[in-house]
Amino acid sequence: MDKSLFVSKIRIGTRKSALALAQTRQIEKSLRQHYPDIEIIINPYETSGDKLKDTSLSNLGGKGLFTKEIEEALLTNEIDIAVHSMKDFPVNYPDTLKIASVPLRESPFDVLLLSEQLLIKSQGVTSSSFYEILPMGAKVGTTSLRRSAQLKIFRPDLQIVPLRGNITTRIEKLKKGLYDAIILAEAGLNRLDIVDILDRCPIPTDFMLPAIGQGALALECRQDDVKMHNILKSLNEENSHSAILAERAFLKELGGGCNFPVAAYACIQDGQLVLEGMIMNPSGSRSVRGTVRTPISFPEKSGKMLAHKLLDNKGQSIMDEIHDTLSQKGQTG
């Protein structure tokens, strides 16, 4: 091992949820493969978002609820690195901290899970007809403004029913018949190795763009911790990192948060970074969508370009509408 990288112990901070612990153990495994002589300790934390399990995130004050306590532990030197789900990670965070690495991204896509009653109807479903499985007025479980708005664009008849709790809890609610279908991130199912969900139906991006950063992890450390920067570099995957930088720059330029139904997905195609994004109002009655292609070397520029492209094409009036609605409710983005 390079002596400049030597540390005797790495303390990792994470949320206490089963999914957070599963993805943190993946990072632990990768670190052990690169640095077998370093002692690794996982410190789980219960965040504010974990304590408020029955309230929509749009009413809780933002994604920072899932990172605040862990970042405080970083700042007070209780831990050395933090593992976050990127889609829960705010675009604005303390200047004294840094995203040092983005490992290889898991599936960024959403999947539709069907109730037992609808399973038979799902046979032979194609990517262009999967919405036809759902009967008129079907109850679909999600608490995501992004997902519900995109559902309503194609199927305004659907009943969107709030759905919170961990992945296992959500699946159990579906099995009990409380919903006709629910929507989950495929990455969570994969990381928890839930392979018995044979009725999962991948939702094509033509119908539903994912959340910013969905499927990716953020490995965070202190800005001045050079050793941790260098250690975490070994886990970074360049294409995943570039895609995430583009998506987050798009969201930041819009000034959006969890109160805003915004979606984006970036990938590398033929040596270029392709970023597709969308702005919509919560009802799905107004939306604008667009794509930009740029060199891989300028991911954040790509995000800013797309944001202004959409803002200049109906996007600004949609954002103004959302701001006005939030102001009337006494909420902020």
Q: Assign 256 a pLDDT band (cuts: 50, 70, 90).
A: low
pLDDT at 54: 54
DSSP code at position 315: I
Determine the 3-state secondary structure of 177 from DSSP: coil
CATH code for the domain defined by 110-202? 3.40.190.10
State pLDDT tens for residues 22-52: 999 999 999 999 999 999 999 999 876 666 6
Of 2, 99, 17, 19, nearest in space to 53 by CA = 17
Q: Is the separation of the CB atoms in 143 and 261 below 8 Å?
A: no
Of 32, 37, 29, 34, nearest in space to 7 by CA = 37
Give me the chain's average pLDDT, please.
88
Separation between Cα atoms, residue 214 and residue 210, nearest integer Å:
6
Q: Return the CATH number of 238-333, one of 3.30.1280.10, 3.20.20.70, 1.20.140.10, 3.30.160.40.
A: 3.30.160.40
- Which residues carry out catalysis? 88
This prediction's pTM: 0.90
pLDDT at 333: 46
216 backbone φψ class: left, alpha, beta (φ>0; ψ -120 to 50): beta
For the chain, what percent of residues have pLDDT higher than 90?
A: 72
Q: Answer yes or no: same fold for 110-202 and 238-333.
A: no
State pLDDT tens for residues 73-128: 999 999 999 999 999 899 988 999 999 999 999 999 999 998 888 876 666 555 45
CATH code for the domain defined by 1-104+216-236? 3.40.190.10
pLDDT at 132: 75
The secondary structure of 200-237 as a DSSP string is -EEPPTTT-PPPTTTT-EEEEEETT-HHHHHHHHTT--
For the chain, what percent of residues have pLDDT higher than 70?
A: 85
Domain range summary for the chain, segments of one domain joined by +: 1-104+216-236, 110-202, 238-333
Both tokens of 75, joined, read 């700042």
